[in-house]
Homo-oligomer: A and B are copies of this chain.
């Protein structure tokens, strides 16, 4: 089963699982060791400390969360509508596989804001300098004239509608009495719906 996976990898996988669910402060090294099925001392043997291990998990999580959107958003050869589709599809894939990625990242940022100032691989005012931002602005001027809302609203709306159902998953399942299968199906419906809604908003 996990015969071809090294101890080092087993530890990181276990750490990822527990860190993403419980956060840094809520995770005990003993829980990671147990989840990985290894002796507690091996965690420090391979990764020096809980914090070092956490930093690796966090770095990979930030990459999972932001690497794809960074390239899509600045692609000059695709138009606005294709970008919207791409973002939705890419995030849906990522988040269906890692449902608690967003809550993990944002929770850690909220508990330790200063620590993440540098770590997030997105420069100040990243968004306003992207291709998609400019394409959005042109489109808004075209249909709404000069007096249109800040284009950032529409990017936020896009991300909101994609990410929030994952952040609020337990609540959402409860509220609508869905089991896991219903929930996944519900999310998957949004893959086609969200781009339509956003396109509708832009041309409002």
Contact = CB atoms under 8 A, between A and B. Distances in A.
Chain A interface helix/strand/loop/mixed: helix
Number of this chain's copies in the complex: 2
A196 interface: yes
| Residue in A107, A165, A204 with the greatest tally of chain B CB atoms within 10 Å | A107
Interface string A146-159: 00011011001101
A194 to B, nearest CB: 9
Interface residues of A, number: 52
Interface string A124-167: 11111000000000000000000001101100110111011101
Contacts of A100: 110
Nearest to A126: B175
Interface stretch (A4-12, A22-30, A45-53, A84-92): A22-30
Interface of A: 21-26, 100, 103, 106-107, 109-111, 113, 116, 120, 122, 124-128, 149-150, 152-153, 156-157, 159-161, 163-165, 167-168, 170-172, 174-177, 186, 189-190, 193, 196-197, 200-201, 204
